[in-house]
Chains A and B, each alone.
Chain A
């Protein structure tokens, strides 16, 4: 039985609308006009396709319908504005080469859109909101809910960002080779933050919000198809490897299960295989960056059948390399945890105490949780208890709190 036409149009909307939208922004030079043109194009499709059949290249059809609708709209509004301005605008739109048939061109527009939404001249929070709204097509309400921000605040942020793109002329283009590494950084950061927001909610009761993570993986796949850069490949790998453990990292009761206690038989083997292959590809490029090393660490964990056969020596070595590239306290803390696994809790404790004494991590709950864990393993009950209490005071996440409370209760 053939799929009904309405379902086909719906599927085309799902699969093509963001691509068509990105191209319309390029042609019309305006986010809001493109949004309107996209809706008009689909309205036209719903009217015409049942009569004329679905065109061979629906995306190209929609782009050209959207463009004509936009020109019509400008002509209609022209009665209220100076004719010269309008003629110029219409000419600029009509002057464009005919709507591209090639998928490639459309994909390039999506890439332009990602780089524009993640332009470093926009505030970091705004980059995330704008990317989810414009590139992924999430509604303002969905984004607001995911980030626990009031919807009006978020809507305003997006409006302001679009105004800045227009008024400051943030260009709609993929940066040139010399700018790419720096600009890619903000794009990757946005994607990884979206992923993490879905992987561990920054507060509230649920630890995973699958949709955001899926969206981030989709974005990384798109980027990696369009720009085969090792850091993009590595970020995709890193997210797939994290994702492979999603089921194992929370118990039936919604509690957090640490890596060494997870049931590794429920790790997703398919995602691990893909992730590991991507890591290897990125590392063999000889241009390993921070995401490559993080993904490599994640791959070492993924390849250990049991927690007690984890190659901690290799993990410490990868953290050493990572610290060279990015000497941050959080990475130093993760390295300390690996050192504790490799050489024993005493070595880890010395490192963490130095880090906390340096004053960078005294408000970071994981530093105190690690300290508590090392004391626990060394049998220092009093010190462990004090450190768990400090860690608890610093996190609002319910699953994390339950985990720390369980550890605290087991100390007696």
Chain B
């Protein structure tokens, strides 16, 4: 099952962890067979938030929520259960400076779709 590991860092910690260290971890994860995807993100200053209401698209500058720690990057990992996910997530280098949120992915529920197509 896939788990998304969201890396959160306070603005003053964004560069605490050298890219080289993050890259080395990603390589180790790749070698272990648990790697699905990973990216570091530009700071929230570069964010744009989109909302569509009543057919109107509105864009706002900045992240959708101002939080003390900001989303700085993510790893999508493949693990057999939460223990294995926690094992790999706790080795993400920025865990020492910020927080790593581990979220299991959800399979989309297509059962209603299936019954519709069967009926057709």
Contacts and interface: CB of A to CB of B under 8 A. Distances in A.
**Physical interaction between A and B:** yes
A119 B111 CA distance: 32
Interface in B72-86: 80-83, 86
Interface in B19-58: none
B83 A82 contact: no
Interface in A157-174: 167-171, 173
A308 interface: no
Contacts of A169: 1, 80-82, 104
- Interface secondary structure of A, over-half rule: loop
B83 A171 contact: yes
Contacts of B1: 169
A270 interface: no
Nearest to A172: B81
Contacts of B106: 167
Given A167-B104, A168-B104, A175 B114 contact: no
B82 A121 contact: yes
B114 A168 contact: no
A330 to B, nearest CB: 27
Nearest to A170: B82
B43 to A, nearest CB: 29
Contacts of B81: 169-171
A204 B89 CA distance: 43
A81 B82 CA distance: 28
Nearest to A119: B82
Interface residues of A, number: 12
Given A82-B114, A169-B1, A179 B104 contact: no
Interface in A304-343: none
A318 B38 CA distance: 49
Interface in A137-171: 167-171
Contacts of A167: 104, 106
A261 B81 CA distance: 53
Contacts of B86: 121
Interface string A255-289: 00000000000000000000000000000000000
A82 B118 CA distance: 11
* Among A119, A121, A167, A169, residue most surrounded by chain B Cβ atoms (within 10 Å): A169
A301 to B, nearest CB: 40
B83 A175 contact: yes
Contacts of A173: 83
Nearest to A178: B87
A82 B106 CA distance: 19
A179 B83 contact: yes
Interface in A180-201: none
A173 B80 CA distance: 13
A77 B49 CA distance: 44
Given A168-B82, A169-B81, A179-B83, A82 B111 contact: yes
Contacts of A119: 82
Nearest to A85: B111
Contacts of B82: 119, 121, 168-171
Interface in A45-66: none
A61 to B, nearest CB: 31
Interface in A333-385: none
A312 to B, nearest CB: 43
B111 to A, nearest CB: 7
A82 B17 CA distance: 49
B81, B82, B102, B111: residue with the most chain A Cβ atoms closer than 10 Å: B82
Nearest to B111: A82
Interface string B90-106: 00000000000010101
Interface of B: 1, 80-83, 86, 102, 104, 106, 111, 114
5 contacts: A168-B82, A169-B81, A169-B82, A170-B81, A173-B83
